[in-house]
């Protein structure tokens, strides 16, 4: 497993971060992960050298945080824990402190290493509101209960509204994979300029790039909501998925490792977040922590990725045009 450093943190951060959305009951993944299974996958991640764990107050209404804290046991002080607050209209100091305290109680820990704003939300539609958010997050950091703070799902216009307060943040957690590259361009440029690294979530397109598409896998609501699992994008992504499978076979690894290794080679990527309810799958994706793709393979993947991405953007433009013509 390879490790890197993040602005504001002293601990080593593994290039693979374990995602804890699936280890608790949720609307997206159902209620099929038992506390025992959650314990087993977290311990497997630790065993394989994964040093960072991503959770949120909204994952199972705090159950993800509770299960993670219990599974980490005495190791919880050694790892990096990332949690998130779902922003609301109140934007009051007391409310934000209370919700961070609730997360700490669930984790059975005195602090989180990184505390993220889960979504930019319509509440931050003005510079004044965004600056107020920055001040609140700075306050949480100064309290010592969050070592550092970050963002999630913030795009160009959201980042610009933060003004000078943008310097408080070290992370922007964004959806990013070989089929989904919306956070490149100006959004990434702003983040790089301000030393805000990307945590890539959904780096395997919620398992679509893992090489094991099945009826069981596609039955989860989280995947039914994902446009990449719907036609025509599912068929259009087949050349990308086939190339990933072929490269995996050629270099004798798993497709999921190839998909992750591609993400980790992209600009401004600090780490890729991957979750699972099964220890054997954790063993598979942890392999990507030591995998480096050749220049030839990276070039091949970049070409099919850009081809798909252009088709995807063209399709969305056509659908948008058709929609407004009907209006």
Question: Domain residues of the chain, as ranges?
Answer: 3-207+254-294
Comparison of pLDDT for 320 and 127, the residue scoring more: 127
Q: Are 194 and 151 within 8 A, CB to CB?
A: no
Give the percent of the chain with pLDDT over 70: 91
The CATH label, of 3.20.20.100, 3.40.1390.10, 3.40.50.970, 3.40.50.800, for the domain at 3-207+254-294 is: 3.20.20.100
pLDDT tens digit string along 207-232?
899 987 666 666 666 676 778 888 88
What confidence tier does 122 reach under pLDDT thresholds 50, 70, 90?
confident
The answer to which of 151-155, 289-293, 308-312 has the lowest mean pLDDT is 308-312
Per-residue CA distances from 286 to 13, 42, 253 (Å): 14, 12, 11
Cα distance between the two ends of the chain: 53
- pLDDT number for residue 314: 65
Is the pLDDT at 25 greater than 90, yes or no?
no
Instruction: Name which of 22, 29, 77 is nearest 51 in CA terms.
Output: 77
What are the b/e assignments for 259-282, b being 16+ CB within 10 Å? Answer: bbbbbbebebbbbbbbbbbebebb
According to DSSP, the residues that pair with 14 across neighbouring strands are 3
Mean predicted confidence (pLDDT) in 50-56 = 98
CA–CA separation, 194 and 170 (whole Å): 8
- pLDDT number for residue 324: 39
Mean predicted confidence (pLDDT) in 9-35 = 87
Q: How many helices and strands in the chain, by DSSP H and E?
A: 13, 10
Mean predicted confidence (pLDDT) in 27-56 = 90
- pLDDT number for residue 321: 45
Mean predicted confidence (pLDDT) in 29-50 = 90
pLDDT tens digit string along 68-112?
999 999 999 999 999 999 987 777 899 999 999 999 999 999 999
Instruction: Name which of 161, 231, 190 is nearest 174 in CA terms.
Output: 190
Side-chain-facing half-sphere of 308: CA atoms under 13 Å: 25
């Amino acid at each position: 497993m390879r490790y890197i450093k993040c602005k504001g943190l002293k601990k080593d951060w593994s290039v693979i971060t374990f995602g804890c959305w699936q280890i608790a009951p949720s609307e997206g993944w159902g209620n099929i992960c038992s506390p025992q299974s959650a314990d087993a996958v977290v311990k497997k991640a630790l065993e394989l050298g994964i040093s960072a764990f991503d959770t949120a107050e909204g994952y199972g209404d705090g159950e993800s945080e509770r299960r993670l804290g219990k599974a980490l046991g005495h190791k919880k002080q050694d790892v990096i824990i990332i949690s998130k607050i779902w922003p609301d209209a109140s934007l009051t100091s007391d409310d934000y402190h209370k919700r961070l305290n609730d997360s700490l109680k669930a984790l059975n820990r005195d602090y989180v290493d990184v505390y993220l704003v889960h979504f930019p939300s319509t509440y931050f539609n003005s510079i004044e509101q965004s600056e107020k958010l920055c001040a609140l997050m700075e306050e949480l950091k100064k309290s010592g209960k969050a070592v550092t703070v970050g963002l999630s799902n913030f795009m160009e216009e959201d980042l610009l509204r933060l003004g000078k307060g943008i310097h408080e943040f070290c992370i922007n957690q964004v959806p990013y994979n070989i089929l989904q590259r919306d956070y490149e361009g100006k959004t990434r440029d702003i983040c790089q300029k301000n030393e805000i690294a990307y945590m890539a979530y959904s780096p395997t397109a919620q398992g679509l790039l893992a090489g094991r598409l099945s009826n069981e896998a596609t039955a989860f609501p989280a995947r039914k909501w994902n446009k990449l699992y719907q036609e025509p994008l599912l068929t259009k992504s087949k050349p990308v998925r086939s190339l990933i499978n072929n490269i995996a076979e050629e270099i004798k690894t798993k497709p999921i490792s190839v998909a992750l290794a591609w993400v980790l080679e992209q600009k401004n990527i600090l780490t890729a977040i991957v979750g699972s309810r099964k220890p054997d799958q954790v063993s598979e994706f942890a392999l990507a922590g030591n995998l480096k793709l050749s220049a030839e393979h990276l070039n091949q993947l970049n070409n099919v990725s850009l081809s798909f991405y252009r088709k995807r953007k063209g399709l969305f433009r056509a659908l948008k045009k058709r929609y407004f013509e009907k209006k």
